[in-house]
């Protein structure tokens, strides 16, 4: 018995190769670098921890506020939160609130950050006004 069948048409794919490896999870190490670059101007020190193990789903950021307070932040899909009160310190018993943005977290932690951010915003608005925009 002979069966007449047509070869299947190739299935067109509309995904990028990163979605295979990462799925829908963002690479938190890259997100952490972006966070640092975004607000570095308004804190004393900030860097992604090299000694704590970051992964695709979690990264750790060390920050020193303008007041001299040091924190270790955890960045996940849930947001950012304080996990330690020293660089590279993770206290598993610490139950702190997640913040959707680094701005919200730093605004809560540091009046100096709030002032620096406000000043930077004001300067930018003044430059835009001078350029007639």
Is residue 53's pLDDT more than 80? yes
- Full-model pTM: 0.74
Q: Angle at CA 99, nearest 5°, toward 70 and 29?
A: 70
What residue ranges do the domains of the chain occupy? Answer: 26-129
Mean pLDDT of the chain: 84
More confident residue, 128 or 78: 78
Helices (H) and strands (E) in the chain, counts: 4, 4
Per-residue pLDDT at 131: 82
As a whole number, mean pLDDT of residues 114-121 equals 88
Per-residue pLDDT at 84: 98
* CATH for the stretch 26-129: 3.30.2280.10
């Amino acid at each position: 018995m002979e069966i007449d069948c047509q070869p299947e048409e190739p299935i067109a794919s509309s995904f990028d190769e990163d979605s295979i490896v990462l799925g829908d999870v963002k690479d938190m190490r890259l997100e952490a670098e972006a966070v640092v670059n975004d607000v570095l101007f308004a804190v004393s020190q900030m860097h992604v921890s090299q000694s704590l193990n970051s992964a695709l789903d979690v990264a750790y950021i060390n920050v020193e506020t303008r007041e001299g307070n040091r924190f270790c932040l955890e960045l996940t899909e849930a947001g950012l939160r304080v996990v330690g009160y020293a660089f590279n310190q993770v206290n598993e018993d610490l139950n702190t609130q997640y913040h959707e943005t680094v701005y919200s977290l730093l605004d809560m932690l540091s009046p100096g950050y709030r002032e620096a951010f406000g000043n930077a915003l004001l300067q930018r608005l003044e430059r835009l006004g001078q350029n007639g925009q």
